[in-house]
Structure 1
Amino acid sequence: MASDTEMRDAEAIEEDERQYGHGVITEEELNAKYPNRPRNHSKTLPFHELYLALFNPLNEHRKRPAGPVTARKKQGKHGPVNLSPHEIRRDIINRFISRWRKEVGNDIYPAFRLILPEKDRDRAMYGLREKTIGRILVKILRIDKDSEDGYNLLNWKLPGQNVKTAMAGDFAGRCFEVISKRPIRTTPGDMTIAEVNEMLDKLSIVSVEEDQRSVFEEFYRRMNAEELLWLIRMILRQMKIGATEKTIFDIWHPDAESLFNVSSSLRRVCWELYDPSIRLEGDDRGISLMQCFQPQLAAFQMHSFEKIVGKMKQTEDDDAFWIEEKLDGERMQLHMAEDDSKPGGKSFAFWSRKAKDYTYLYGGTFEDENSALTRHIKEAFGDGVRNIILDGEMITWDMEQDAMVPFGTLKAAALSEQRNPFSTGQRPLYRVFDCLYLNDEALTNYTLRDRRRALEASIRPIHRRLEIHMYVEAHSAAKIEPLLRQVVSEASEGLVIKNPRSPYRLNERNDDWIKVKPEYMTEFGEALDCIVIGGYYGSGHRGGKLSSFLCGLRMDQNQIQQGANPMKCFSFFKVGGGMTADDYATIRHHTDGKWHVWDPKKPPSEYIELAGGDKVQKERPDVWIRPDESVVFSVKAASVSTTEDYRMGLTLRFPRFKKLRTDKDWRSALSIQGFVDLKNNAEQEQKEKEFKVDDSRRKRQRITKKKPLTVVGSEEIVRTPYAGPATKVFEGLTLYIMTDSTVPERKCKAELEQLVKANGGKIVQKDTGVNGLVCVAEKRLVPVVSMQKSANRSIVRPSWLFDCIRQSEADLNQPSLLLPYEPNHMFWTLPDELGQIEANVDEYGDSFARDVTVDELRQIFKGMPLSGRNVFDATAFLNEAEDGKLGLGQLPGWMFHGLVVYFDKADTGNGMLDDTNGEYVQPHSVDLDLRLAGQVVTFAGGKLSTDLDGKDITHVVVGRDRTRVKDIRRGLQRHSPLPRIVTADWVHDSWKEKTLLDEERYAASP
């Protein structure tokens, strides 16, 4: 009869086979690669021990401060001492690891795969997101997808129906709530960690939802709700255990993090470093050929260029720094090694920054027929290069435009290159900027300058396949600005500033590499005031709340006159960055109760038009809002780029929220044509603007000054700053100034108080309960919020003070009279005072009691709707115009009248003809010149045709792509007279010259 030890060993071996027998590496290969790997003497721990002994205890001490109640104690030399929260977390992890070593063995890899799933590169991605898991659970639990729980699962980002606020935006938490109502098990299940890994391996190789469902059914039968909660977090690789991998690695082995940085292999960390007393040797601590590593990363510092450069260690003899263009692609490391068994004698491997293997895409050998890169770079390596590791960026290059394509198209370009290796369209291009390994020697400890010499000596660039990334050497921070301006004008990512004296530091962000992006700069581009038309719910700490917003551009007047809904908007961009908690609170205050859930079956097409129309609905929001009930955002961005995701065909790159324009409504938000004009002006003025670091959102250091010593009875006269002509406008009035002022003038709280005193008012520092007290504020500080909650008094903005003083200063001979409050004067208003305040202005916001400024009058005019009282007969007007009675033929705005123009493959507002079904759809690439030309033709009286076969076509305008000119000519043979085929320059130059130019000069040739 077998002993207990023999039985445990047999069970452990069986678990090993189940644990590691489902991957692409066989058990025999693992034994050969790791001959000294540790073996467990017993079965792995139950799966539920992970959350009972590790996850839950860690989360309990996640953010608790140490103290007599929450802190644990340990025995010190002089008695018990309190442990800090960090020490408590380390103690929890250490006890779990010690228990594993004692009860299971030294192979902790099965547990670490579940504790740190995002670091496990040996298991393939599941290809599962929240929506799919939600559908699977709805079927397993046999609940109606339209029921309360079904709705909450499938719409997990929405606040939900009768769910805990804490679970909003937390998909795993939402699943826990639903499963808890109908569990098969109420006690912890019987699955071991090894069995869970076996099932997860199976889940990673199936792709059909029915097969995925069978795996989840097994988990549902054998786990309780809390186990399933943690399992779903592992599948999504979104663990929240209250400790970082750095802490866990450090407790497992002192060299664990170093080995992971050079290998990106969790398996190797667990199997080579199972004994803490055995340390890594020097050679083992460096990068290895054909072994993925964690690359060095660039830091970003919110400092001036001088400080950025100053942070780099410099010497008297060497103050140089390098400036590189920041590429908009995917970070990629290339490994090449000698391999006589491979065609060409070399083998390759490619890994991304997150250790994803892309060798299948870019090629494993020179002769790889599925290679998108390696078969094109046979001549790229020097004759003496036996092996090498390169660090660089894989980007998409458009051969026709000879320009880099923005991020997001790389994989599609690589797949296209696999099918058509000599395409003249888009292809992957590898830009190399570092060499880290050469002919069996790691170069990471060498300086960047030395590594660059090795790179240039080893690589022969292959045009538009593999190229060495260029840099500019500089000695002064003044060199940065013009280069940043140049790359921004070319729609690039930004710059990276590098220290040529620095070594390569794995998995680190430090001051040796600093990135500078244009979106962090002020004074670049325009602040755009755009209407909010949609919202997206967030996850994590923003769960259950709107965290980002869809903004749009409203219709132009000429579109409205042609029958468009005045409130209809084109989707333009999505923004969520730059908002503070106060900003979110203010947005909620203005839009509460006005949001509508987006119904894909019945989209609000009369108000919002998305890319792809009602069928595709690209960038569809979770909720939408009517423009007339919405708010206006002021947004800044780095640049404008083309896109297929938004109805405008254009979008903002790196949009950032600046402020909420409470002074504007939807009518004064940016329109479609307004944006086009603004874009053109911004590009023209861009050369004249200077960059400045955007520190508007950084906390400013408070500067305190000592108050001068005041001696009672001193003869010295205390002088105050001039506060304007003294009036008595505030005489008899008591005011409580609560915040400083930014509009219309920037004054601190003390200056506002002095201004009030100089004009006869009395100042108090708190609400004393006096009748008629005027509270002044324009920011949501703590006392202001407290007063709002008490709802005792309205709060007026400082602008009211300035308006009162200005009105009184207009005629000092007249008695000073207080101005009545107007809506734009109010920061917060009591409900029963709203009607009285609104009665102090007319329907357009014009004051009855004061003289408005020129700027205010301009805004009032903009907000006035067109009067409908004048009777206007459009037909009679057009007839007179066509008869020449009105003399409009001499006006530029009438020059295209009578012409019918067809724009080839242009999105002129009507779409592009889809030859497969005859429908007009959003084009895949937007020709901006044609779009603008189409708007010019429409504006100047012309008509646009959506059908090339239309009998009334007079002109056909083509863009940069002339390949269709011959086909167009054949298609026009039936027309009489033949339409003229011209380039877009004919439209633009005619508009510039204010007359129709000779078409022969602009004839389009194939």
Structure 2
Amino acid sequence: MDSDEILPDPAPNVEENIDETYPNRPRNRNPTLPFHELYKNLFDPLSQIKKKPPGPNPGLARRKAGPHGKAATSLNPFELRRDVITRFISRWRQEVGDDIYPAFRLILPDKDRDRPMYGMKEKAIGKMLVKILKITKESEDGHNLLNWKLPGQSAASRMAGDFAGRCFDVLSKRPMRTDPGDMSIEEVNDKLDKLSAATKEDQQAPIFAEFYRRMNPEELTWLIRIILRQMRVGATERTFFDVWHPDAENLYSISSSLRRVCWELYDPNIRLDADNRGIGLMQCFQPQLAQFQMHSFDKMISRMRTTEEDPVFWIEEKLDGERMQLHMAPDSSVPGGRKFAFWSRKAKDYTYLYGNGIHDEHGALTRHLENAFVDGVQSLILDGEMITWDPEQDAIVPFGTLKTAALAEQRNPFSKGPRPLFRVFDMLYLNGTDLTRYTLRDRRNALARTIKPVHRRFEIHPYEEATSTAEIEACLRKVVAEASEGLVLKNPRSPYRLNERHDDWMKVKPEYMAEFGESLDLTIIGGYYGSGHRGGALSSFLCGLRVDNNSSRGSSSEKFWSFCKVGGGMTAADYQEIRHHTDEKWNKWDAKKPPTSYIELAGGDLQCERPDMWIKPSDSIVVCVKAASVATSSEFRMGLTLRFPRFKKLRKDKNWKTALSVQEFLDLKANAEQEHREKEFSVDNSRRKRVKRAGKKPMAIAGYDENEEVQYIGPSGHIFDHLNFFIMTDSSDPVKRSKGELEQLVKANGGKIFQSSTAASDIICIAERKTVKVASLQKHGEDNIIKPCWLTDCVDQNEKDAGLPDLLLPFEPRHMFYTVEGREDEIRMNVDQFSDSFARDTNVDELKKIFSRMRSEGNDTIGGDALRRIEEQIQERVNSGYTVPCGWLFRGLTLFFYQIHLDDTPLALARDTSKFAGAGISDEMESPDVTHIIVDQERLTPSDLSSLRGSLSTRAGRMPHLVSLEWVKDSWSNKTLLDEERYTPRRSLV
């Protein structure tokens, strides 16, 4: 929970008798599969698909399903992953049985709440392997294991930042066995249970030693990933759940229990009944999350407005704490008693910390809640944020101290030190009723009538109503002044969406405001090695402020105080340039002999924020850094640091003598605070489009006058970040653009332009007609040549998907001017048999051509498997925040149209619209499948409404929604399902 603390967590509560809790759980007919089957038939195949996706962007996720089934050879990556998972699950069912829980615990280790954390990170595992392998810490392999982020020697250098990969490199040199081991999945689970229960190294070492004896290096590598809960196989739990059972994701969202998903939903033909689809008391659910910030406040507001009649949205302060859900239920063991439970966003049980009852002496919070609820409240579920409050400062303490404060509160509940404060912003359950389908406005009204706040211990989080961007800006100014986390905008008309990021909640962070000066020019004095794709190189840097001599004004010493760390915002070119200027000037940090004559850290002997490497300021480089605000910090020698620091650019025109000093920074800070109230708020967009570096000569472009500035007015963004381009011709289709205009389009969207195909690595060559250069490249035959229409397609698609992560389109046959031999089939996989793109929206002209091809080639009916794949991929697209396709809007709903007689009535039009949008239409109102009853308010008499409501009140099972036909019309026009309560017939009864 807290990055600055290493404190023990108790083991979760273990059920006394699993057979009593799950009397009907499945039993396997045969022993579980060998452990090596997991990596051979699941992990490795999935990893290979992840490494070799089609198209130019390795991170591309398919965004549109094809309308036709395809042969196995033309499956896209999503379908390939599903195929691998489906084959493994089918084999398990056939050879083992219906209980897949033992396998899922290893496949999805981060979702397994029933096994405690191991208390082992990379360094502890590295030390253990050094002992088991009987190698010294000073040996090359010992050094590589214990310093896994640092560049290694020989082959290990490729594994820097990848601990499991570094382990494989070391283990493969001295394996106990080369063939796959004989341990079963059940046996591995048993050993891992014992490993998680072990608290000391001498208890853990024998278990690890047995794994080493009985597994080959590949198995051990995957086992280490399981222990670290860092699988990264390219398939999410959503895909595994979806293949296992159609209701698996829903059950996990409301319970956060992998065991329940496996043991209650083992038969795909038995669906989860309606009573078990909602959240329940004392079972942890997966909370709704806020969508990421969009490019403009206007777009954010427009996404939340579902009606012009009610344009209001809410603004809440984003709290710097830990997301927490609180459950309260009656306690039958105590008359009138209540029991509590707390879970974090990651489903970690914190009841032991905050309390299980009012009289829990170890409860840091619940002992203060005796009078926190109005009479009549028996049970509830609250969603909120647990933060640390300092009573002396009467302010929130920055994140990182919450657990320490809670433990201190357990020991002394009446101390005046920092304490946990639970800020509630939602109520999801009250006295047996699930409130998630109610609007946020209704839920907050219920919350206000239910809770009696306890000052600075248990409070309702406030919000402000707003209708315009000006109110967002005013609130942002306030949170920046208070060094707060940011804002969350909420749609008060929205339901609660479990386990989703949705436009109904959007977060706004004041990270890069033009509030605190224009920039800070800081000197790099240290570096930290990264992990993952940045492994083996310095990925973040320690920046310092120069300590001026007091003896004479203007004289400088080469001594710097540590001030902040920066790494975000740097491109590969920025890292390369820093390496170019500082190569062979770095020194390894020696904790026993720190370079105090040059660098002074905080904490004295503790050496807070100690870098891996250090550099003399006179050998270093100056960077321009942007920040939201300044915060106090004991981690840096300056005593202050930057909040949300971000790299802007290199300052090659400055050196350590002209960079910012301690006194200059203090003067700058004082001036900023003085001018704070006079300044108008503005959001800094400079990070979206990099500022042209001073002193750089404009590049000469063949084909137009270099003195004539090309005016570019068009979309800008980050779609081409980190990509290199060589543009050889102009464009005529779909829009006529000159070569210069195409280059401006690329640069405005983050790309870099070169005038040779060999000027940089991985250059994308662009041309639409044959010139001398194009013919030469084509004859060489080593580079694809892409038409300019691919550039415009990428930009257009990302403009349509504004607010979503930038995604590069894969190459399609229509994009190719010349294709390297052997790549044709790979590129053809990105469209279906009629050339309909899987990854981008199709325009009208293209659609006409596609329909023409379908008529000429014939059109087979879509089979059940193909339809299922389409449904799954569309659902994945919708879950990622994309608009629901119009033909899918009402899918899964069954509508009954009341008193529909004539085909020319409005009801008939609404019925046809609903059918087109995927709804099922029922002719029987009593059918249990009916989810909505649609009425025409203009034709409905009071007696009709009274009769209709009377018949519904006696209905057994699920109660359908009674709504006016305007619900169908408005949902269709807004392209989303609207809240039904606003469309309940309002005609009063006589």
Q: 1:665 aligns with which of 625, 639, 655?
A: 655
TM-score by length of 2: 0.68
- Pick which of 538-547 and 24-33 moved more: 24-33
Q: 1:302 aligns with which of 290, 294, 297?
A: 294
Q: 1:683 aligns with which of 657, 673, 687?
A: 673
RMSD of aligned Cα (Å):
2.9
Q: 2:383 aligns with which of 365, 372, 391?
A: 391
Aligned to 1:635: 625
With a CA cutoff of 8 Å and minimum separation of 6, indicate the structure with the bigger relative contact order. Answer: 2
Name the amino acid aligned to 2:650. L
1:505 pairs with 2:476:
no
CA 1:381–1:180: 2 relative to 1, 3 Å: same
Aligned to 1:268: 260
2:556 and 2:657 in contact (8 A); partners too: no
CA 1:325–1:780: 2 relative to 1, 3 Å: closer
Name the amino acid aligned to 1:650. L
Aligned to 1:97: 89
1:141 pairs with 2:129:
no
Aligned to 2:416: 424
Aligned to 1:793: none
Aligned to 1:517: 509
1:225 pairs with 2:217:
yes
Aligned to 2:17: 29
Aligned to 1:61: 49
Q: 2:566 aligns with which of 575, 579, 604?
A: 575
What's the offset of the Cα at 1:252?
0.6
Name the amino acid aligned to 1:375. R
Alpha-carbon distance in 2 for matches of 1:151, 1:117:
29
SS state of the match for residue 657, structure 2?
Answer: helix
SS state of the match for residue 97, structure 2?
Answer: coil
CA 1:442–1:602: 2 relative to 1, 3 Å: same
Question: Where does structure 1 lack aligned partners over 5 or more consecutive residues?
Answer: 1-21, 71-75, 701-739, 759-764, 767-777, 791-1006
Q: 2:329 aligns with which of 309, 332, 337?
A: 337
Alpha-carbon distance in 2 for matches of 1:383, 1:559:
71
Name the amino acid aligned to 1:657. F
1:322 and 1:474 in contact (8 A); partners too: yes
Aligned to 1:743: 694
Q: Over residues 21-66 of structure 1, what are the superposed CA-to-partner deviations in whole Å (9 max), with x where a residue is unaligned?
A: x986667521111111111111111111100011111111224346
Alpha-carbon distance in 2 for matches of 1:178, 1:745:
47
Aligned to 2:426: 434
1:560 and 1:566 in contact (8 A); partners too: no
Aligned to 1:252: 244
1:525 and 1:639 in contact (8 A); partners too: no
Aligned to 1:588: 579
Alpha-carbon distance in 2 for matches of 1:753, 1:434:
60
Alpha-carbon distance in 2 for matches of 1:147, 1:742:
46
Name the amino acid aligned to 1:594. K
What's the offset of the Cα at 1:318?
0.8
- Pick which of 513-522 and 746-755 moved more: 746-755
1:65 and 1:85 in contact (8 A); partners too: yes
Q: Over residues 783-837 of structure 1, what are the superposed CA-to-partner deviations in whole Å (9 max), with x where a residue is unaligned?
A: 27878789xxxxxxxxxxxxxxxxxxxxxxxxxxxxxxxxxxxxxxxxxxxxxxx
Aligned to 1:490: 482
Alpha-carbon distance in 2 for matches of 1:610, 1:783:
43
CA 1:131–1:78: 2 relative to 1, 3 Å: closer
What's the offset of the Cα at 1:686?
2.4
Alpha-carbon distance in 1 for matches of 2:305, 2:274:
26
Name the amino acid aligned to 2:654. K
After TM superposition, list the pairs within 5 Å mapping 1:742-821 onto structure 2: 743=694, 781-783=752-754
Aligned to 2:303: 311
Alpha-carbon distance in 1 for matches of 2:611, 2:116:
31
Name the amino acid aligned to 2:255. S
2:384 and 2:426 in contact (8 A); partners too: yes
Aligned to 1:240: 232
CA 1:559–1:455: 2 relative to 1, 3 Å: farther
After TM superposition, list the pairs within 5 Å mapping 1:578-727 onto structure 2: 578-613=569-604, 615-698=605-688
What's the offset of the Cα at 1:470?
0.6
- Pick which of 588-597 and 122-131 moved more: 588-597
- Pick which of 431-440 and 677-686 moved more: 677-686
Q: Over residues 254-307 of structure 1, what are the superposed CA-to-partner deviations in whole Å (9 max), with x where a residue is unaligned?
A: 111111111111111111111111111222111111000111111122322222
Alpha-carbon distance in 2 for matches of 1:200, 1:348:
30
2:512 and 2:626 in contact (8 A); partners too: no
Question: Where does structure 2 lack aligned partners over 5 or more consecutive residues?
Answer: 1-9, 59-67, 710-726, 729-746, 762-990
Alpha-carbon distance in 2 for matches of 1:757, 1:61:
47
Aligned to 1:381: 373
1:299 and 1:513 in contact (8 A); partners too: yes
CA 1:552–1:383: 2 relative to 1, 3 Å: same
Aligned to 1:84: 76
Aligned to 2:933: none
Identity within the alignment, %: 67
SS state of the match for residue 61, structure 1?
Answer: helix
Aligned to 2:469: 477
2:524 and 2:622 in contact (8 A); partners too: yes
2:549 and 2:556 in contact (8 A); partners too: no
What's the offset of the Cα at 1:314?
3.3
Name the amino acid aligned to 1:405. V
Q: 2:521 aligns with which of 529, 548, 557?
A: 529
Aligned to 1:47: 35
What's the offset of the Cα at 1:691?
3.6
Aligned to 1:852: none
Name the amino acid aligned to 1:783. F
What's the offset of the Cα at 1:748?
9.2
1:582 and 1:780 in contact (8 A); partners too: no
What's the offset of the Cα at 1:669?
1.1
Name the amino acid aligned to 1:313. R
2:12 and 2:116 in contact (8 A); partners too: no
1:537 and 1:545 in contact (8 A); partners too: yes
2:523 and 2:622 in contact (8 A); partners too: yes
SS state of the match for residue 521, structure 1?
Answer: coil
Q: 1:349 aligns with which of 322, 341, 356?
A: 341
TM-score by length of 1: 0.67
Name the amino acid aligned to 2:557. P
CA 1:430–1:749: 2 relative to 1, 3 Å: farther
1:299 and 1:514 in contact (8 A); partners too: yes
2:320 and 2:485 in contact (8 A); partners too: yes
1:461 pairs with 2:449:
no
Q: Over residues 718-737 of structure 1, what are the superposed CA-to-partner deviations in whole Å (9 max), with x where a residue is unaligned?
A: xxxxxxxxxxxxxxxxxxxx
Aligned to 1:554: 546
2:700 and 2:706 in contact (8 A); partners too: no
Q: Which structure has the greater CA radius of gyration?
A: 1
Alpha-carbon distance in 2 for matches of 1:620, 1:245:
37
Q: Over residues 928-964 of structure 1, what are the superposed CA-to-partner deviations in whole Å (9 max), with x where a residue is unaligned?
A: xxxxxxxxxxxxxxxxxxxxxxxxxxxxxxxxxxxxx
1:287 pairs with 2:259:
no
1:343 and 1:366 in contact (8 A); partners too: no
Aligned to 1:874: none
Q: Over residues 204-246 of structure 1, what are the superposed CA-to-partner deviations in whole Å (9 max), with x where a residue is unaligned?
A: 1112122111211111111111111001101111112121111
Alpha-carbon distance in 1 for matches of 2:532, 2:104:
24
Aligned to 2:191: 199
- Pick which of 238-247 and 371-380 moved more: 238-247
What's the offset of the Cα at 1:570?
1.1
1:525 and 1:638 in contact (8 A); partners too: no
Equivalenced residues, count? 705
